[in-house]
């Protein structure tokens, strides 16, 4: 074959190869994000399932702390109704806050604090909160990787072509919640 | 700065190099051993069979050797909920499958991870660590071990443990044979030279093997500290755990020995003192590690 052909064939082959490899890499990065999202989902559901049990246990010792129970239940319902990531993140924050105040209330009841069942639930919920934070961290790490890839040159050419779009981070707090908490006496 | 993927590749490559090196050393030892008994081919074949068997064994079963040598027992979620939950959380953060959990009945604070890849990994901590460390500190320690798992350090370190052990054992066996074996060395001159080479190799092999072990594990500890901090996002946790280990009265893990020392998060054998000791240490000085973590 005429050696001149190679001057055309080799670069074309290299470009096609680069195309395939890059496209596949982007796909796998995107799949990782979805996978990471399902991890968050698993942990959020786990917490959702633990809450009724916790409320029942606490009620047995602290019946009149109604406002705290209502707050937790409200946040729980808000979370179950959340459809997109933003409302979900917001409900998740609300629920975390409500649970915190529930545990703060429990501090006032020594017999409750010593209850075996309560201690177990507290450990479960606390570690589930941790796992939610960790899965969120893993999710955001993956989003960062993906976003970085599709925005950098020359990968952005392929990303634009196949309509890979920037993914959203799962943010921990909204701006208003970052304000210092007012303590009422 | 290396990425995690580069480090994984490096570990996989080093593991292969280590196995090849192991084959060469064992084959050389076997050949010389054979020459000594005037059956070089037999020696080579014997060495080949032994090294293949040992390499396969250490790759697929090295973790159970490490675990049983250190007296680790399987831990359930029911017995150690805090430990279990901590590991589960950090597995999620690292995006890894949850490792099998083990506990070592010991008062000292220590931990190690082993296995051939993240899907076949085990993590062991001492009961002393579970008792004496706060949750954030335990998280720091587990984060350190999870990064050993993620980086494939565990594969490399497990291979080193078994293969270096085998080389040390074989060369010890050969030295005995050469020294107390047949006395008629001047039968043929070629044999005499080979015996000297063999003797030198038999003495040098375990020393070289030891040096490989030290060189690979000290840098690794710093890297695992840094990666662990990236997982927990809280370097102070591990720093405070290391400080606790440093100030703890119980430093020695009874079940650990020279073969397993490099697996642990902190040297389980003795305190770091003196120049010669620090030269042959499997771990960097604990103060240097704490300092590096505090600077993050």
Q: Do B92 and A123 touch (CB under 8 A)?
A: no
**pLDDT attached to residue B257:** 63
- Is there a contact between A103 and A68 (Cβ–Cβ < 8 Å)? no
**Chain B residues touching residue A39 (CB < 8 angstroms):** 92
- Long-range CB contacts (< 8 A, 24+ apart) of B169-173? B170/B26, B170/B29, B170/B50, B171/B29, B171/B201, B171/B202, B171/B203, B171/B205, B171/B206, B172/B206
pLDDT higher than 80, residue B95: yes
**pLDDT attached to residue A175:** 45
Q: Do A131 and B82 touch (CB under 8 A)?
A: no
pLDDT higher than 50, residue B281: yes
Q: Which of B151-155, B180-184, B200-204, B246-250 has the highest mean pLDDT?
A: B151-155
Residue % of chain B over a pLDDT of 70 = 80
Of these residues, B137, B139, B145, B221, which one is catalytic? B145
Active site residue B145: yes
Mutate to test the interface with A, among B92, B136, B150 (most CBs of A within 10 A): B92
Is A135 in CB contact (< 8 Å) with chain B? yes
**pLDDT attached to residue B186:** 47
**pLDDT attached to residue B5:** 76
Joined tokens for residue A99: 């649970």
Q: How far apart are CA B98 and CA B121, in angstroms?
A: 8
Q: How far apart are CA B44 and CA B98, in angstroms?
A: 42
- Is there a contact between B227 and B4 (Cβ–Cβ < 8 Å)? yes
pLDDT higher than 50, residue B275: no
Average pLDDT over residues B32-55: 81
* Average pLDDT by stretches of 10, chain A with 185 residues: 84 93 92 90 89 87 84 87 81 86 87 86 89 91 92 89 89 53 49
Name the H helices within A61-115.
Answer: 66-81, 85-106, 110-114
- Of the candidates B86, B88, B233, the beta carbon closest to that of A137 is on B233
Is A131 in CB contact (< 8 Å) with chain B? yes
Q: Do B92 and A43 touch (CB under 8 A)?
A: yes
Mean pLDDT score across all residues of chain B: 81
How far off is chain B from A135, nearest CA to CA, in Å? 6
- Is there a contact between B265 and B141 (Cβ–Cβ < 8 Å)? yes
**Burial per residue of A62-97, b for 16 or more beta-carbon CB atoms within 10 angstroms, e otherwise:** beebeebbebbeebbebbeebeebeebbbbbbbbbb
B137: CB partners within 8 A, 6+ apart: B237, B238, B240, B241, B244
Q: Do B88 and A131 touch (CB under 8 A)?
A: yes
Q: Is B114 helix (H, G, I), strand (E, B) or coil?
A: strand
Alpha-carbon dihedral B7, A34, B87, B113, rounded to 10 degrees = -30
pLDDT higher than 60, residue B49: yes
pTM higher than 0.90, yes or no? no
Q: How far apart are CA B229 and CA B142, in angstroms?
A: 10
Q: How confident is the model at residue B83 (pLDDT cuts 50, 70, 90)?
A: very high
**Look-up of token digits 């959340």:** A82
Summarised one tens digit per residue, pLDDT across range B217-232 is: 677 888 889 999 989 9
Mutate to test the interface with B, among A32, A117, A118, A131 (most CBs of B within 10 A): A131
Summarised one tens digit per residue, pLDDT across range B169-212 is: 777 777 777 666 554 544 444 556 666 766 776 777 667 666 66
């Amino acid at each position: 074959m005429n050696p001149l052909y190679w001057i055309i064939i080799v670069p074309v082959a290299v470009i096609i190869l680069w195309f395939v490899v890059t496209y596949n890499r982007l796909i796998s990065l995107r799949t990782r994000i979805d996978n990471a999202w399902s991890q968050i989902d698993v942990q959020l559901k786990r917490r959702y399932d633990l809450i009724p049990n916790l409320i029942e246990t606490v009620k047995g010792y602290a019946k009149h702390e109604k406002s705290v129970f209502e707050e937790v239940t409200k946040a729980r319902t808000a979370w179950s109704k959340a459809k997109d990531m933003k409302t979900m993140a917001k409900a998740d924050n609300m629920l975390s806050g409500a649970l915190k105040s529930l545990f703060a209330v429990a501090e006032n009841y020594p017999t409750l604090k010593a209850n075996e069942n309560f201690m177990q639930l507290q450990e479960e919920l606390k570690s589930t909160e941790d796992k939610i934070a960790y899965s969120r961290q893993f999710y955001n790490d993956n989003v960062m990787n993906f976003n970085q890839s599709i925005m950098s040159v020359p990968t952005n050419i392929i990303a634009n072509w196949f309509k890979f779009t920037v993914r959203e981070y799962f943010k921990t707090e909204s701006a208003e919640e970052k304000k210092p908490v007012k303590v009422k006496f | 700065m290396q990425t995690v993927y580069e480090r994984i590749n490096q570990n996989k490559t080093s593991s292969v190099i280590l196995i090849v090196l192991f084959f060469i050393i064992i084959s050389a030892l076997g050949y010389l051993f054979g020459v000594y008994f005037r059956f070089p081919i037999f020696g080579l074949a014997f060495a080949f069979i032994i090294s293949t068997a040992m390499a396969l064994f250490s790759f697929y079963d090295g973790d159970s050797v490490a675990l049983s040598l250190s007296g680790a027992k399987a831990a359930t979620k029911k017995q150690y909920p805090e430990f279990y939950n901590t590991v589960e959380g950090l597995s999620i953060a690292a995006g890894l499958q949850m490792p099998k959990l083990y506990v070592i009945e010991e008062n000292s604070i220590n931990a190690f991870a082993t296995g051939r890849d993240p899907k076949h990994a085990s993590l062991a901590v001492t009961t002393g660590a579970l008792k004496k460390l706060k949750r954030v500190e335990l998280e720091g320690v587990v984060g350190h071990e999870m990064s050993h798992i993620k980086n494939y350090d565990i594969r490399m370190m497990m291979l080193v443990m078994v293969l270096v052990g085998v080389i040390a054992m074989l060369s010890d066996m050969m030295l005995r044979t050469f020294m107390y074996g047949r006395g008629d060395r001047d039968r043929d001159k070629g044999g005499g030279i080979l015996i000297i080479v063999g003797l030198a190799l038999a003495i040098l092999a375990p020393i070289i093997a030891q040096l490989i072990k030290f060189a690979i594990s000290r840098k690794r500890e710093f890297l695992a500290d840094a990666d662990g901090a990236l997982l927990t996002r809280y370097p102070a946790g591990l720093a405070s755990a290391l400080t606790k280990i440093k100030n703890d009265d119980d430093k020695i893990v009874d079940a650990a020995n020279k073969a397993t020392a490099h697996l642990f998060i902190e040297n389980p054998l003795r305190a770091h003192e003196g120049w010669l000791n620090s030269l042959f240490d499997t771990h960097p000085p604990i103060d240097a590690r704490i300092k590096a973590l505090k600077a993050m």
